[in-house]
Amino acid sequence: MLTSSATSAFREAKMAVSFSSSTITPITLQPKLKAIHGLGKLFPGYSVKSHFRNVSLRRSSVVVSAITGASGTGIGKDTADLLDTVKVLDLRGNEIPISDLWKDRKAVVAFARHFGCVLCRKRAAYLAAKKDVMDASGVALVLIGPGSIDQANTFVEQTKFKGEVYADPNHASYEALEFVSGVSVTFTPKAAMKIIESYMEGYRQDWKLSFMKDTVERGGWQQGGILVAGPGKHNISYIRKDKEAGDDPPVEEILKACCA
């Protein structure tokens, strides 16, 4: 029998599984699989009915690179040139060219879905747990999220993340790296199970951050990734692009890329 705390966690996890922005109304869960609006079958044991209204997605089509959902090395010249134009904000609101984060050092850079995301909080924790290994190798740990500096500061306050945190309110780095975005890569059976697992492990979605305007306007469908870069602006030795929500690579793979 589940304890009251476990039952509460499961209920909130179920809410997180069905989370969407206010651009989708309403959402109902039913005990059978049904196809919806051309999106196909999403969660085993559930169907999601929705009526799309003024959905604003960053791209009309999802761009998937050859190394999305798998590990790769290096990036193309066009991507490197785009990154040279991208700036992120530190926790005080100062603009910093993103490539400066690894220009003079090696860094593990994690890209979150958004600052309220429960899966991103778990990703932050599993990377921070290896920060001593990174420190011993002279490697910085960085997390970037698509959102405001207020959201970034709240994330740091809540998670006590040990690395550096930056905000990308314009999603410029996500667009340059062509991270995927869309409903079909957010609501997947694997993502649903990972959300439930995360809740049972004690991680929580921040609903206030999740429903802030700049997250809602983007639809909440953004996916992220992880890269290892530096020293040198164009020296990106490892990149992993999430193919769906919660698509974390084995931490040993990241440590091999950054610290071997």
Which amino acid would we find at residue 175? E
HEC per residue, 122-190 = HHHHHHHCCHHHHHHCCEEEEEEECCCHHHHHHHHHHHCCCCEEEECCCCHHHHHCCCCECHHHCCCHH
Residue 227: is its pLDDT beyond 70?
yes
**Centroid of chain to Cα 85:** 22
Q: In this predicted model, what pLDDT tens digit does every residue of 127-144 receive, in sequence order?
A: 999 999 999 999 999 999
Q: Is the pLDDT of residue 51 over 70?
A: no
Positive/negative CA dihedral, 99, 144, 62, 59 = negative
Q: Which two tokens stand for residue 258?
A: 């950054």
Query: 66-80, 200-214, 227-241: which has the highest mean pLDDT?
Result: 227-241
- The stretch 93-110 carries a mean pLDDT of 97
Q: What percent of the chain has pLDDT over 90?
A: 47
Cα→Cα distances 11→7, 15, 202, Å? 6, 6, 13
Other C-beta atoms closer than 10 Å to the C-beta of 72 total 16
- pLDDT band of 72, cuts 50, 70, 90: low
Kindly give the residue spans of alpha helices, DSSP state H, lying in the chain. 4-17, 77-83, 100-103, 118-128, 131-136, 149-159, 172-176, 189-200, 207-210, 213-216, 251-259
Distance between CA atoms of residues 16 and 8, nearest Å: 12
Beta-carbon contacts of 199 under 8 Å, excluding residues fewer than 6 positions away, are 9, 10, 12, 13, 16, 118
Residue 74 pLDDT level (bands cut at 50, 70, 90)? low
What is the sign, positive or negative, of the torsion defined by CA atoms of 181, 187, 188, 194?
Answer: positive
Is the whole model's pTM more than 0.75, yes or no? Answer: no
Domains of the chain: 4-52 (no CATH), 71-259 (3.40.30.10)
pLDDT band at 64 (very low <50, low <70, confident <90, very high): very low
